[in-house]
């Protein structure tokens, strides 16, 4: 028996499939859909929707197809645009527009002519609107973007013959910024984010209503504290909301409860996530729930996404922070320290796996020694401060590498790892010394600019010649860190090497973490990278003799 029938429901309310029938039009999704529909009907050309994972982009794709299914419109959907060659992409598009594979072995130019002829026949002679929808747009190779730009040149005096709608994750924005000739052709760019608490309540109620028998009373399966707990745990991302609601309903049935309460949500979240447990009933949360009950009793439905929860005065005094600041607790590399969130909404900052990795980086002696008796460990690769000052005067490199803006869910020790290629306690202490305004590394404001000091190091000299694969190089630290943040998790491991020399000045090189003993192996690895990386990548076999490193390139394994 299906679990939802035990709840007197006809269908599963929280299926993770992008069913258009269960599409809930939150304010931002409704606005996005309306603007998309208007742009496509007016045949304006290129539309781009950008959002984080789980914000509802795929569901919007299906909704567009559904809206144009009964009109003089052809919609074509590409779910995975990671094509290996221009010919493969052109052949796929031609096959979609013709309804069959092109006859013979046409070359790229002939395939483009076939596509152009099909667009003119359908768009002008038959007066149809042809829509090409691309999901997972962040996977589009650069050669595909150039072909799409050429498709936008197929037009009449009044409209574009092909309408293109791209749904992509946030890293696609970096690609657009690097290709102005395509970005200038975008008619609509819409950014999807998490929904607020009001829309979360409406989404859950809407899905339960759609699953209930027609005319039946909508069951109240979630308590108000449970809804607030779901909002805190999910951060307002629809996919996380739906998955957590599904798990909570199953747990409610197993525990023989009539409603889902906050303890059920908490236990489900802890089972499916490796993040440290939140303070689910902190003073701030308890006060906020009382406030919600009072307000809802009065018949008011506030937008809780903008609600600032009151903090106990003792905590504010201890933190010495302005009461309007958005403050998070950032973990420092102490294995015995617990990680807590000081904000009452959003996911936890550090995961349990993060803490395990951090603990592994600390030596056994550091773990066993008390904080009072612990003696700083000096590593050989770091040049002493006095020598470093002499180097600054001698070679003229800047004392700081630059400043980096701390992003949500980013810890100082992770930032240290990104910049210097690895985490060591000595690096962290020097970083803290360069930021005297940070009196407590556990309390750092989101958006704060972190000054990153130049820490000159003595690279270990390898007797054998090594080859590195460089995939990015920039003279701006902020740009380099943004690249590291957006780098795909399933791609080969990378690290940064900040350096300075007489010819280039300061630069940050992003390399594959693995180095190679010969050029052939390195070039083979470069060819295996995604096209967008391989086209910018290059091989390095030596560094300039005047180079001062701020990370050890020979630590790459």
- Report the pLDDT value the prediction gives residue 455, as an integer from 0 to 100: 87
Does residue 382 surpass a pLDDT of 50? no
Please give the helix or strand (H or E) that residue 87 lies within, else none: helix 86-98
- Report the pLDDT value the prediction gives residue 501, as an integer from 0 to 100: 82
Does residue 427 surpass a pLDDT of 70? yes
What band does 289 get if pLDDT is binned at 50, 70 and 90? Answer: low
Does residue 309 surpass a pLDDT of 80? no
What band does 339 get if pLDDT is binned at 50, 70 and 90? Answer: very low
> Phi/psi zone of residue 104: left (φ > 0), alpha (ψ -120 to 50 degrees), beta?
left
Which span out of 182-191, 283-292, 541-550 was modeled with the highest average pLDDT?
Answer: 182-191
- Report the pLDDT value the prediction gives residue 228, as an integer from 0 to 100: 92
Q: Is 407 helix (H, G, I), strand (E, B) or coil?
A: coil
- Report the pLDDT value the prediction gives residue 48, as an integer from 0 to 100: 94
Indicate the range of 57-66, 85-94, 272-281, 479-488 predicted with least confidence. Answer: 272-281
What band does 515 get if pLDDT is binned at 50, 70 and 90? Answer: confident
Any bridge partners for residue 483, and if so which?
Answer: none
Q: What is the mean pLDDT of the chain?
A: 76
| More confident call, 249 vs 551 | 249
Does residue 170 surpass a pLDDT of 50? yes
Does residue 287 surpass a pLDDT of 90? no
- Report the pLDDT value the prediction gives residue 351, as an integer from 0 to 100: 42
Does residue 288 surpass a pLDDT of 60? no
| More confident call, 393 vs 537 | 537
| All domains in the chain, ordered by first residue | 27-192 (3.40.50.300), 196-307 (1.10.8.60), 311-375+400-449 (no CATH), 468-555 (no CATH)
| More confident call, 309 vs 183 | 183
What band does 130 get if pLDDT is binned at 50, 70 and 90? Answer: very high
What is the average per-residue pLDDT within 340-364?
38
- Report the pLDDT value the prediction gives residue 359, as an integer from 0 to 100: 44
Does residue 284 surpass a pLDDT of 80? no
What is the average per-residue pLDDT within 382-393?
48
| More confident call, 344 vs 479 | 479
Does residue 522 surpass a pLDDT of 80? yes
Please give the helix or strand (H or E) that residue 508 lies within, else none: strand 505-512
What band does 396 get if pLDDT is binned at 50, 70 and 90? Answer: low
Most distant CA pair in the chain, distance: 84
CA distance 456 to 465: 23
Residues 6 or more apart whose Cβ sits within 8 Å of residue 204 = 222, 227, 230, 241, 245
- Report the pLDDT value the prediction gives residue 319, as an integer from 0 to 100: 38
Residue 481 near residue 510, CB atoms below 8 Å: no
What band does 23 get if pLDDT is binned at 50, 70 and 90? Answer: confident
SS (H, E, C) 212-243: CCCCCCCCCCECHHHHHHHHHHHCCCHHHHHH
Identify which of 49, 310, 70, 77 has the alpha carbon closest to the alpha carbon of residue 188.
Answer: 49
Segment 42-65, tens digit of pLDDT = 999 999 999 988 888 888 888 888
What band does 463 get if pLDDT is binned at 50, 70 and 90? Answer: low
What band does 292 get if pLDDT is binned at 50, 70 and 90? Answer: low
- Report the pLDDT value the prediction gives residue 47, as an integer from 0 to 100: 95
| More confident call, 554 vs 392 | 554
What is the average per-residue pLDDT within 115-142?
92
- Report the pLDDT value the prediction gives residue 115, as an integer from 0 to 100: 93
Q: Which long-range contacts (CB under 8 A, 24 or more apart) does 536-542 make?
A: 536/471, 536/472, 537/469, 537/470, 537/471, 538/469, 538/470, 539/467, 539/468, 539/469, 539/470, 540/467, 540/468, 540/469, 540/470, 540/509, 540/511, 541/465, 541/466, 541/467, 541/468, 542/465
What is the average per-residue pLDDT within 71-96?
90
Whether this model's pTM surpasses 0.75: no
Residues 6 or more apart whose Cβ sits within 8 Å of residue 554 = 459, 460, 461, 462, 466
DSSP of 28-82, one letter per residue? HHHHHHHHHHHHHHTT--EEEEEE-TTSSHHHHHHHHHHHTTTSSEEEEEES---
- Report the pLDDT value the prediction gives residue 147, as an integer from 0 to 100: 93
In the chain, % of residues over pLDDT 90 = 20
């Amino acid at each position: 028996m299906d679990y939802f029938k035990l709840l007197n429901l006809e269908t599963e309310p929280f299926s993770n499939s992008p069913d258009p029938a269960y599409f809930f039009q939150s304010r931002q999704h409704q606005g996005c859909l309306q603007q998309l529909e208007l742009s496509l009907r007016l045949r304006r050309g290129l539309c781009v929707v950008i959002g984080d994972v789980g914000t509802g982009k795929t569901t919007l794709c299906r909704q567009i197809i559904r809206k144009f299914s009964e009109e003089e419109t052809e919609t074509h959907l590409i779910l995975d645009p990671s094509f290996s060659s221009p010919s493969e992409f052109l052949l796929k598009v031609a096959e979609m527009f013709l309804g069959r594979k092109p006859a013979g072995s046409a070359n790229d130019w002939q395939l483009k002519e076939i596509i152009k002829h099909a667009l003119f026949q359908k768009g002008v002679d038959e007066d149809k609107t042809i829509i090409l929808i691309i999901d997972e747009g962040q996977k589009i190779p650069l050669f595909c973007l150039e072909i799409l730009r050429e498709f936008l040149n197929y037009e009449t005096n009044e409209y574009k013959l092909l309408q293109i709608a791209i749904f992509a994750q946030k890293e696609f924005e970096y690609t657009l910024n690097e290709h102005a000739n395509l970005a200038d052709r975008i008619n609509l760019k819409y950014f999807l984010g998490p929904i607020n608490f009001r829309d979360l309540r409406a989404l859950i109620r809407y899905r339960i209503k759609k699953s209930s028998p027609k005319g039946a009373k909508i069951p109240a399966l979630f308590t108000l504290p449970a809804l607030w707990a779901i909002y805190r745990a999910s951060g307002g991302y629809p996919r996380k909301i739906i998955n957590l609601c599904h798990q909570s309903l199953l747990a409610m049935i197993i525990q023989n409860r009539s409603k889902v309460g906050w303890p059920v949500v908490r236990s489900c979240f802890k089972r499916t996530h490796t993040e440290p447990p939140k303070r689910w009933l902190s003073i701030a949360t308890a006060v906020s729930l009382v406030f919600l009950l009072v307000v809802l009793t009065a018949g008011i439905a506030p937008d809780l996404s903008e609600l600032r929860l009151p903090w106990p005065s003792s905590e504010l005094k201890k933190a010495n922070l302005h009461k309007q600041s958005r403050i998070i607790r950032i973990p420092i590399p102490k294995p015995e320290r617990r990680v807590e969130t000081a904000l009452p909404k959003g996911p936890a900052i550090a995961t349990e796996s993060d803490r395990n990795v951090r603990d592994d980086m600390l030596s056994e002696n550091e773990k066993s020694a008390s904080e009072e008796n612990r003696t700083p460990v000096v590593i050989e690769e770091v040049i002493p401060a006095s020598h470093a000052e002499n180097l600054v005067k001698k070679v003229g490199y800047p004392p700081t590498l630059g400043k980096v803006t701390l992003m949500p869910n980013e810890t100082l020790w992770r930032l240290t790892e990104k910049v210097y290629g690895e985490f060591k306690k000595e690096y962290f202490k020097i970083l803290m010394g360069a930021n005297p305004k940070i009196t407590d590394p556990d309390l750092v404001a989101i958006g704060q600019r972190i000054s990153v000091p130049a820490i000159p190091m003595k690279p270990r000299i390898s007797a054998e010649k090594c080859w590195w694969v460089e995939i990015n190089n920039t003279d701006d630290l902020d740009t380099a860190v943004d690249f590291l943040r957006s780098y795909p998790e399933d791609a080969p491991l990378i690290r940064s090497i900040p350096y300075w020399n007489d010819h280039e000045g300061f630069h940050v090189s992003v390399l594959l973490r693995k180095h190679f003993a010969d050029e052939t192996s390195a070039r083979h690895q470069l060819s295996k990278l995604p096209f967008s990386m391989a086209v910018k990548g290059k091989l390095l076999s030596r560094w300039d003799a005047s180079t001062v490193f701020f990370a050890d390139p020979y630590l790459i394994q």
